[in-house]
Amino acid sequence: MNPLLETLQPYPFEKLRQLFNGVTPAADKSPIALSIGEPQHAAPDFVVAALAENLHRLGNYPLTRGMPELRSAIATWLSRRFQLQGVDAEHQVLPVSGTREALFAFAQAVVTPGDDALVLSPNPFYQIYEGAALLAGARPEFINCTAGTGFLPDFEAVTAQQWQQCQLLYLCSPGNPTGAVLSIEQMQHLVRLAREYDFVIASDECYSEIYDDESAPPPGLLQACAAMGEHDYRNCVVFHSLSKRSNLPGMRSGFVAGDADILRQFLLYRTYHGCAMPPHHQVASIAAWSDEAHVVENRSRYREKFTAVLDVFAGHIDVSRPPAGFYLWPKTPLADTEFARRLHAEENVTVLPGSFLARESGGINPGASRVRMALVAELGQCVEAAQRIAHFTDKL
């Protein structure tokens, strides 16, 4: 077996399962899960219809690079959403079978393994970044996101030597779990560093379409490049998904876009990887990327839930409204693991301890004493969960 598999840590949900061993939740309260970021809103009817109408395409092998019509729909959406002056659908766009797979595979394609190979990522982080780095033969290092930095990575703490050794920088904006958003200026600073030290930026923008202020959508990395007058997006790639935007996590549909030279090599890797998106999923994806009305409605529903839940939490728990994403990241009055375990036992509400989403770096675990709450359930369930959590914290 590949010895690097031994370096992988258990996934956060496995740690949560172990944490709950021996716990019997209150039998008089129905379970409410706020622990996993799986959208529960209904999939758009017109996308489901497109899937059903194209099942006959199961008789065809899909192209790894995707249908031209899908690449064109993605390029059109990118240009419209991020004010880009055109995106080359032929060379700057690559459909993928969900961004989880692509974020992992990307490191395998772009990292040159070695003792000095370094992959940087935010902390807390999506654990795929760490596993991708380790199995690519690199060392992951983490950039803390704390209240003191507005929950954005503290890039000032990264040394010149770390930038020199860095081969790949994962970004996540809006952040998981914090919802913090990098500005265009901050992204441009990172682009200049990538050019200076010759590393690749992989920007995970899967939460970009869920945000609080309808007039201020989160910027993207390609948008930052375009604002610098650079439309080849050198050293930069972005990852987008229909899972959160369109409530289609089971369709496993997303894309990578940016530097054409990097994508050419990534396509070569994926050709051997055998991960082409099924044809009927590609047709349905065209429909999803071509419509914004369902996305606006989706944001409205999340906004309603944030307002209702935060009204319940007022005066009970230390939490603030994030600018984007669908998570709350409250501070806990006791250790995050103990908070999650007791909440599960006493109120039958499941949340994810923040320390499970982070690693110790710079002498701290920036997820400690926080929990992640995913407001993905229906409004009534979210409100009931908030009421139980408020009651629980009042007893502490």
Say whether pLDDT at 107 is over 90.
yes
What mean pLDDT do residues 238-265 have? 98
Provide the greatest CA pair distance for the chain. 60
Q: Are strands 166-172 and 139-144 parallel, antiparallel or unpaired?
A: unpaired
State yes or no: pLDDT of 186 exceeds 90: yes
pLDDT band at 275 (very low <50, low <70, confident <90, very high): confident
Q: What is the C-alpha separation between 259 and 193, in angstroms, rounded?
A: 16
pLDDT of 349 > 90? The answer is yes
Tell whether the model's pLDDT for residue 322 goes beyond 90.
yes
pLDDT at residue number 329: 98
Q: What is the mean pLDDT of the chain?
A: 97
Count the Cβ atoms, other than its own, within 10 Å of residue 282: 23
**What percent of the chain has a predicted confidence (pLDDT) above 70?**
100
pLDDT at 22: 95
| Cα dihedral 101/35/336/303 (nearest 10) | 100
d(CA 222, CA 238): 7
With 90 as the cut, is the pLDDT of residue 274 above it? no
% of the chain surpassing 90 pLDDT: 98
Question: How would residue 86 be classed by pLDDT, with cut points 50, 70 and 90?
Answer: confident
Q: What predicted TM-score, i.e. pTM, was given to this entire model? A: 0.97
| Confidence tier at 273 by pLDDT (50, 70, 90) | confident
- Whole-number pLDDT of residue 26: 87
Question: What pLDDT shows up at residue 98?
Answer: 92
Residue 131: closest CA among 153, 155, 103, 112: 103
pLDDT of residue 315: 95
Task: Tell me the domains of the chain and their CATH numbers.
Answer: 3-42+294-395 (3.90.1150.10), 45-291 (3.40.640.10)
